């Protein structure tokens, strides 16, 4: 079936375009959600009007979301997870987890559907795109680290802190010990012998 898109539909097209879609997709999703109408001769006469309205909406939305994009762009997120011997995670880092982390770190509420990524199942750095609008797609950096590595790093940090404290105490002891010149002499003062 042919439909005329009233709104921008991700992975399908922009408002004002005529697209051929499966009957079920058109009748059960696009038309009830008011994203499209059937491509009738009457609807086709309104293409220009729909395109102008959509362009105004698109510009307003891009302007509104540009501030959000600046806050999100280049954001560094990190997750810890249990990892198997092959380097694959037990479970995954989901789109919802990434959206929650973005909100916690930047204060910007992001819908999980805006995250353009499959669930992350491997350790390492991942560049994840966040589709705010058709034109605004900032990228965030997601680092996935194994819990074992975090524990090892924490232990190493504790060991380093202990070493530093030990060295600090030794330096303080060295400072407290008086030098030979500072030690008062315990010898008795010389007595003058009178020669008579």
In a domain, 47, yes or no: yes
The answer to whether 96 touches 105, Cβ cutoff 8 Å, is: no
Question: pLDDT band for position 192 (50/70/90)?
Answer: low
- Please, what sign has the CA dihedral across residues 79, 83, 86, 92? negative
In percent, the amount of the chain with pLDDT more than 70 equals 87
In a domain, 196, yes or no: no
Counting the structural domains of the chain, the total is 2
Q: Give the CATH number of the domain where residue 19 resides.
A: 3.40.5.10
Report helix, strand or coil for 175: helix
Q: Are residues 162 and 108 in the same domain?
A: yes
Distances, alpha carbon 147 to alpha carbons 73, 82, 154, 193, in Å: 27, 6, 10, 83
The answer to whether the pTM exceeds 0.75 is no
| pLDDT for residue 16 is more than 60 | yes
Q: Are residues 35 and 128 in the same domain?
A: no
The b/e string for 4-35 (b: 16+ C-beta within 10 A; e otherwise) is: bbbbbbeeebebbbebebeeeebeeebbeeeb
**What is the predicted pLDDT for the residue at 51?**
84
Q: Give the CATH number of the domain where residue 127 resides.
A: 3.10.430.100
Question: pLDDT band for position 23 (50/70/90)?
Answer: very high
Report helix, strand or coil for 20: strand
- What range does the domain containing 39 cover? 2-55
pLDDT digits (tens, 9 = 90+) for 44-70: 888 888 888 888 988 888 888 888 888
45 backbone φψ class: left, alpha, beta (φ>0; ψ -120 to 50): alpha
Region 86-98: mean pLDDT is: 85
Cα–Cα dist 22/115, whole Å = 26
Tokens of 10: 């991700």
């Amino acid at each position: 079936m042919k439909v005329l898109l009233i709104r921008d539909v991700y992975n399908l097209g922009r408002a004002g375009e005529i697209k051929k879609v499966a009957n079920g997709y058109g009748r059960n999703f696009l038309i009830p959600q008011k994203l499209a109408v059937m491509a009738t001769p009457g609807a086709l006469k309104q293409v220009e009007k729909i395109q102008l309205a959509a362009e105004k909406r698109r510009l307003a939305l891009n302007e509104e979301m540009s501030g959000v994009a600046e806050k999100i762009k280049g954001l560094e997120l990190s997750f810890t997870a249990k990892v198997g011997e092959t380097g694959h995670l037990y479970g995954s880092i989901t789109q919802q987890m990434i959206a929650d982390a973005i909100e916690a770190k930047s204060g910007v509420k992001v819908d999980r559907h805006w995250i353009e990524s499959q669930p992350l199942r491997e350790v390492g750095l991942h560049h994840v795109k966040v589709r705010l609008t058709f034109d605004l797609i900032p990228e965030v950096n997601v680092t996935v680290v194994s819990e074992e590595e975090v524990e090892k790093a924490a232990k190493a940090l504790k060991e380093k802190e202990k070493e530093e404290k030990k060295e600090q105490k030794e330096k303080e002891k060295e400072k407290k010990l008086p030098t030979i010149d500072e030690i008062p002499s315990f010898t008795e003062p010389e007595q003058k012998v009178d020669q008579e």
